[in-house]
Structure 1
Amino acid sequence: MFTAMTYSDKPKEKYSQLTSQLDALLSGEPNRFANLSNASALLNQFFDRINWVGFYLLDGEDELVLGPFQGLPACIRIPLGRGVCGTSALNRETILVPDVDQFPGHIACDSASRSEIVVPLIKDGNLLGVLDIDSPELDRFNDDDREGLEELVKVLVKHI
């Protein structure tokens, strides 16, 4: 049974607690869609001031397809190299966007989104997809979020 947790005020400790909680939540479950669904629900509970959190998964060699998420309906397919998610996937690097209107080629799935962070999911050198989190606030995410989410994703990919 899942119980909501009170997290530390210190960013590194806060993300360490979240990552441990995620690892425990997914431990022993082999189904990747169940694990990605619970991961998106946990992240939605963890973050304030966001309007979308979820996953896009690699489908074939050059396209991402919508996976488990929390939020309004979203774009279903994103070509690699297009938008924030496709660019993060193609380059295999985290992208932190303070203002999505300033990102060339941004795909507006939800017009309320103003900032975004996308972290690639890489396991054994293979791209699996991306974690995408959107906020209706400008400049919502920072380097603490980037570092914390990159560590969280390392644990997550063990379970998918």
Structure 2
Amino acid sequence: MTFDLVPLTGDRADSYRQLAGQAAALVSGESDRIANAANLSALVYHSLPEVNWAGFYFYDGRELVVGPFQGKPACVRIALGTGVCGTAAQTRRTQLVPDVHAFAGHIACDADTRSEIVVPLVHHGELIGVLDLDSPRPARFDDTDRHGLESVARVFVDSLAAS
């Protein structure tokens, strides 16, 4: 199967609806979490402007472990409650950080990152991991991004139910 990236159009909310639709088409019929995470990280990374890292961390029962991603090499393991990813995983709430240098305990995997958004992935009440995006631009992410990326995260979580 080939999948062509279609440029996102319209306002940002419309663009995210299109991105979620592309994500759903990309994972349709596939339930393998690694395959879907790999394709979705590539889709998000190549579709959104001013993103220098997009990917997944998976919860192994003790900590978050890096999964498929696009960008520079990443921190491999993150404790729950540590950094933006660990905080999102522990609280199970999306973390929207306009300035990572102002976030207590931020883990600097890429010195170019200035802002970050992390969406927790929860399936049937169980923590699966997080979807993490970084940007070199301060305050890159806002509530429009939060709603849009939460919808992409839902597509990923829903793809697991197919197994």
Q: TM-score range by the shorter chain?
A: over 0.9
Distance 1:30 1:154 in 2: 13
Shift of 1:9: 2.5
Shift of 1:155: 1.5
The one-letter code sitting in structure 2 at the alignment partner of 1:55 is: F
| Structure 1 unaligned spans of 5+ | none
Number of the residue aligned with 1:56: 57
Indicate conservation of the 8 Å contact 2:7/2:47, yes or no: no
Number of the residue aligned with 2:100: 100
Q: Secondary structure at the match of 2:70?
A: strand
Distance 1:157 1:71 in 2: 22
Shift of 1:152: 1.5
Q: TM-score, normalised to structure 1's length?
A: 0.96
Distance 2:5 2:154 in 1: 22
Distance 2:90 2:111 in 1: 24
The one-letter code sitting in structure 2 at the alignment partner of 1:36 is: A
Q: Secondary structure at the match of 1:130?
A: strand
Distance 1:59 1:81 in 2: 15
Q: Secondary structure at the match of 2:133?
A: strand
Number of the residue aligned with 2:44: 43
The one-letter code sitting in structure 1 at the alignment partner of 2:131 is: L
Distance 1:24 1:4 in 2: 11
Distance 1:53 1:6 in 2: 18
Output one character per residue of 1:92-149: Cα deviation in whole Å (capped at 9) or x when no partner. Answer: 0000000000000000011110000000001111110000000111111111000111
Task: Detail structure 1 runs of 4+ shifted over 3 Å in the superposition.
Answer: none
Number of the residue aligned with 1:120: 120
Distance 1:117 1:105 in 2: 15
Number of the residue aligned with 2:142: 142
Number of the residue aligned with 2:29: 28
Distance 1:6 1:72 in 2: 24
Distance 2:8 2:44 in 1: 13
Number of the residue aligned with 1:88: 88
Q: Secondary structure at the match of 2:45?
A: helix
Indicate conservation of the 8 Å contact 2:51/2:134, yes or no: yes
Q: TM-score, normalised to structure 2's length?
A: 0.95
Q: Secondary structure at the match of 2:145?
A: helix
Distance 2:17 2:39 in 1: 18
Shift of 1:7: 1.4
Identity %: 54
Distance 1:138 1:20 in 2: 28
How many equivalent residue pairs? 159
Deviates more, 1:4-13 or 1:50-59: 4-13
- The root-mean-square deviation of aligned C-alpha atoms, in Å, is 0.9
Distance 2:138 2:128 in 1: 28
